[in-house]
Structure 1
Amino acid sequence: MIRILLAEDDRVMREYLTRALERSGYAVSAVDRGTAAMPLLENERFDLLLTDIVMPEMDGIELAQKASEIAPDMRVMFITGFAAVTLKAGKQVPQAKVLSKPFHLRDLVLEVDRLFEAENAGFN
């Protein structure tokens, strides 16, 4: 099963995203800030870091950079509602996918599915 670490400071958004991804067959561990994600990254294996960019204590870009040191094969997808932040994320973590808010939950699941299509094809 593909494991996703979700870092999103908005509780309602975090719950919606978790439910949508779990319904689609993903295992999700959700935290409310980047600093809470670090111990999980150090002690567990995740296939995808799905993170908001603008969060207190540690933003999603810094989290993604630290995560790539710990788990270089883990994929990264940013979610944000700020266009300027999207540009910054693209420059600092160029291999990451950026999904701009607002988005439909179905679009998020489709993007995550696309990231793992090759691996999922082997399980069918």
Structure 2
Amino acid sequence: MQKLYIADDNVEFAEYLAHVATQDGWDVQICSNGLELLESLKEGTEVALLLVDINMPQMDGIEVISGLAALKRPMRLRFMTGSGVPSMEAAKLIAQARDIDVGNNIHKPLYRDDLKDILHTEADTLAQMQSQSM
């Protein structure tokens, strides 16, 4: 079972993502901000996919990058936003500069079929990451 962390302060949207992912066989953890995400990531060691909103209270998607870079856990990151593309592109570049594996950005709203396509693609990527880390 693949591990998915969702960091988004929009509870309804996070629950929607979690519902679709759970039905698709993912083990899901929802976090309402970057601080919660970093704390949750410290508890596990398995390879994980992170869907991280750019705009959140306390610690946003850009601010969380430094904390992610410090973790010694295999992970893949995708940024999400319903607003400005420039901030999401900047976050992606910053994360890549910190040697974090970053996939394509996700634009909200996200439709069920598109989410399922993303999850299937990422499951394959995570499986490759897992086999490389063994």
Q: TM (normalized to structure 1)?
A: 0.85
Question: Does the 8 Å CA contact 1:5/1:29 hold for their aligned counterparts?
Answer: yes
Name the residue aligned to 1:26: 26
- Alpha-carbon distance in 1 for matches of 2:24, 2:9: 22
Unaligned runs of 5+ in 1: none
Name the residue aligned to 1:7: 7
Name the residue aligned to 1:110: 117
Name the residue aligned to 1:93: 95
Cα shift at 1:108: 1.8
- Alpha-carbon distance in 1 for matches of 2:72, 2:38: 11
Question: Does the 8 Å CA contact 2:49/2:122 hold for their aligned counterparts?
Answer: no
The 3 A distance-change label for structure 1 pair 113 and 60 is same
Query: Is the aligned partner of 1:44 residue 2:44?
Result: yes
4+ aligned runs moved over 4 Å, structure 1: none
One-letter amino acid of the counterpart of residue 87, structure 1: E
Q: Aligned pairs, how many?
A: 120
Cα shift at 1:117: 1.8
- Alpha-carbon distance in 2 for matches of 1:67, 1:75: 10
Residue 74 of structure 2 aligns to a residue whose secondary structure is coil
Q: TM (normalized to structure 2)?
A: 0.80
Q: Which moved more, 1:86-95 or 1:105-114?
A: 86-95
Percentage of matched positions with identical amino acids: 27
Name the residue aligned to 1:78: 79
Residue 61 of structure 1 aligns to a residue whose secondary structure is coil
Cα shift at 1:103: 2.0
Cα shift at 1:72: 4.7
Q: Which moved more, 1:86-95 or 1:26-35?
A: 86-95
Matching of residues 61-72 of structure 1 within 5 Å: 61-72=62-73
Residue 63 of structure 2 aligns to a residue whose secondary structure is helix
Cα shift at 1:13: 0.3
- Alpha-carbon distance in 1 for matches of 2:29, 2:41: 11
Residue 29 of structure 2 aligns to a residue whose secondary structure is strand
RMSD in angstroms over aligned alpha carbons?
Answer: 1.8
